[in-house]
Amino acid sequence: MAPVRLRHPKGVSTLDIPLDDESFTVQAFQQKIYSVSDILPSRQAVKTGYPPQALTMIPELPFSSLGIQRGDQIIVSEVVGTGPSTSSSSTPATATTIPPQVPSPARPLAAAVPTPQLVSSDSGPVFVNTGDGSVLVHRVVPDDNSCLFSATALIFEQSIGKAQDLRKIVASGIQADPETYNEAILGMPPPQYIQTILKPTTWGGAIELGILAKHYGAEIASIDVETGRADRFSPPDSITSGMRCIVIYSGIHYDAASLAPMAEAPNEWHQTLFPMSSADSKTDPILMAAGKLADILRARKAYTNTTTFDLKCEQCGKGLKGEKEARVHAEQTGHVRFGEY
């Protein structure tokens, strides 16, 4: 057990956390917080560090995914409000990863194209009403350098714990097609790229999305939050399943999107693959909803311009400007943990 100090509205408490126990989950940590603060897990806003940064609380993940160490101070506050809201109050985006490339049987959908309605929740996931009784939900995954693989594992394997398996799929895809994935495309010799992409600290991007789309026979539509643009990664016509999935790209991070009867529905009720009823984002109901989801996130400033944003290397403290300088620094030092100022 290791002591972790918790500052909450009732005062300061010390929680004993089994840091070395991988069976101790984020959900168990939330229950410990509840036991001393009386703040329900669904209402807990948790921050740590200096200045305090919000933590992404994924209940099924191990506690270690939060990066909390012995002696760290945790700040928890209660999120006010339980119902849907159309508020677009800004919340700064935070970053710990920089992707290496900017991504340039489901139930049938209604024949008529409904008009998605903007909805945002102050106390739960961001979502959009699709107009047919369902909601498209923003599914957040951790900022841990594996966000692309976690998001696509959530979509294709229904578990972000399968992220490393998807890295292996990418490695096999590169090995199987040396003509396409040559040194010029990869930016390094293929064996070196394969060795690198298998590391949990390596970012993924366009190359990885293309390989995963081919492997699963489904189009991956990457929705850029800042511009609303949909970049599509499609499998060959000979192997396509006619299905599409959605990932949400903030400039420095990937999340997933899924369809559910309600925003707080259990994970097993979520649909992550959709029939491609249209290639046009103005007529396909899911692409329309994904665009509206990006609108909400854009209004909240939940994106980063990777050309101009200020970064600090969390391993050596060096200040950096934009994605380009961060890449050079990562290549020179091997450092991969960055935070946005």
Report, as residue numbers or ranges, the catalytic residues: 144, 147, 253, 335
DSSP 145: S
The DSSP code sequence of 67-108 is ---TT-EEEEEEPP--SEE----------S---SS----PPP
- Which residues share a beta bridge with 137? 127, 258
Q: How far are the Cα atoms of 16, 17, 251, 252, 340 from residue 308, in angstroms, in the given order?
A: 41, 39, 11, 12, 11
**If we measure between CA atoms, which residue out of 173, 229, 223 comes closest to residue 198?**
173
Tell how strand 2-8 and strand 73-78 pair up: parallel
Q: How far does CA 237 lie from the centroid of its chain? A: 28
Token digits for 193? 């790229």
**If we measure between CA atoms, which residue out of 158, 137, 152, 84 comes closest to residue 258?**
137
b/e for 273-309, b at 16 or more Cβ within 10 A? bbebbeeebeebbbbbbbbbbbbbbbebebbbebeeb
Which residues, in sequence order, are CB contacts of 274 under 8 Å at separation 6+?
106, 109, 243, 244, 245, 246, 259, 286
**Residue 1, class by beta-carbon neighbours within 10 Å (0-12 exposed, 13-18 middle, 19+ buried)?**
exposed
Residue 58, φ and ψ in degrees, nearest 5: -105, 105
**If we measure between CA atoms, which residue out of 72, 71, 89 comes closest to residue 80?**
89
